[in-house]
């Protein structure tokens, strides 16, 4: 009888110990899961190295910027795309309406066409500048982009390339707009107006600055669209490394 009692007691102790161990193990698993959630990756993706993270992001950024440059830097890239087509500046709406009222639609259309063709010619210059920004990206930059909003990479490019892009594109825009008689005539007119132009909005007198700014807006819009697609659609992640990196952070 004593032996039976000892066996029962031992069994009770073993069950109690197992319960404690199970509770401790459950807490341990919860701790691991919590740490993984805080890091923004699942426990299956903890083997993602910094090298892979940066390389995968660079592949995605190269894809996104190349998409934007190819789409816009060709004949009709701006003119035939309603989302980025550069309109007559609002400050010159009276010029456009006056021309059309007088039956001079061709002159108004040519003005708009010239501005958009200038943008299309300037866009290819962005490729090298974007490429340099991508290569100079640090691990910290990559982490901030991957854990940021859907347009984090686009904003990174705006911050690090907008000034260089403006300096590179504006001379091309100036050459393109000066080549067409309508735009060149308008620029000559505003130049001769002298001090009177100080009373007009900037986009009225600085057509080249207006076109350059709109070119950048269209470029960043296309980059943001491709970035969002890569983040949200696994099919858009065209390489194994991109799939691994964005799968870990999304």
pLDDT (0 to 100) of residue 201: 54
Phi, psi of 130 (to 5 degrees): -65, -45
Joined tokens for residue 79? 């003119």
Neighbours of 91 (CB within 10 A): 14
In tens, the pLDDT along 15-39 reads 444 444 334 434 433 433 333 333 3
Mean local confidence (pLDDT), 134-141:
93
Cβ 184 vs Cβ 178: under 8 Å: yes
In tens, the pLDDT along 46-62 reads 477 999 999 999 999 99
Q: In 3-state terms, what secondary structure has residue 82? A: coil
Q: Which is higher by pLDDT, 61 or 177?
A: 61
Q: 121-148: string of b/e by CB count within 10 Å (b at 16+)? A: bbbebbbebbeebbeebeeebbbebbee
Joined tokens for residue 163? 């000034």
In tens, the pLDDT along 65-90 reads 999 999 999 999 999 999 999 998 88
For residue 56, which of 246, 242, 249 has the smallest C-alpha distance?
A: 242
**What residue has token string 């989302």?**
83
- Please provide the average confidence, as pLDDT, over all residues in the chain: 78
**What residue has token string 């910290």?**
140
The alpha-helical segments, DSSP class H, found in 137-201 are 139-146, 152-179, 181-193
Spatial distance between the Cα atoms of 161 and 219, rounded to a whole number of angstroms: 12
Q: Which is higher by pLDDT, 97 or 120?
A: 120
Neighbours of 111 (CB within 10 A): 21
Threshold 0.85, pTM exceeds: no
Cβ 127 vs Cβ 69: under 8 Å: yes
Spatial distance between the Cα atoms of 185 and 35, rounded to a whole number of angstroms: 66
Given a cut of 80, whether residue 131 has pLDDT beyond it is yes
């Amino acid at each position: 009888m004593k032996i039976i009692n000892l066996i029962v007691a031992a069994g009770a102790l073993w069950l109690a110990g197992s319960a404690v161990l199970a509770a401790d193990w459950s807490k341990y698993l919860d701790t691991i899961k919590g740490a993984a959630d805080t890091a923004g990756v699942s426990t299956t993706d903890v083997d993602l190295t910094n090298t892979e993270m940066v390389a995968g992001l660079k592949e995605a950024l190269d894809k996104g910027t190349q998409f934007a440059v190819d789409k816009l830097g060709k004949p009709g890239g701006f003119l035939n795309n309603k989302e980025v087509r550069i309109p007559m500046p609002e400050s010159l709406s009276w010029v456009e309406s006056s021309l059309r009222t007088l039956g001079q639609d061709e002159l108004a259309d040519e003005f708009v066409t010239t501005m958009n063709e200038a943008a299309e010619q300037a866009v290819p210059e962005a490729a090298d500048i974007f490429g340099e920004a991508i290569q100079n990206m640090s691990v910290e930059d990559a982490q901030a982009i991957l854990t940021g909003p859907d347009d984090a990479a686009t904003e990174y490019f705006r911050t690090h390339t907008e000034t260089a892009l403006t300096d590179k594109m504006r001379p091309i825009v100036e050459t393109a707009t000066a080549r067409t008689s309508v735009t060149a005539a308008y620029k000559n007119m505003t130049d001769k107006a002298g001090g009177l132009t100080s009373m007009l909005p900037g986009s009225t007198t600085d057509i080249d600055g207006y076109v350059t700014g709109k070119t950048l807006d269209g470029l960043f819009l296309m980059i943001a669209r491709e970035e969002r697609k890569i983040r949200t659609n696994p099919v858009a992640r065209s390489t194994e490394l991109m799939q691994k990196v964005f799968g870990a952070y999304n």
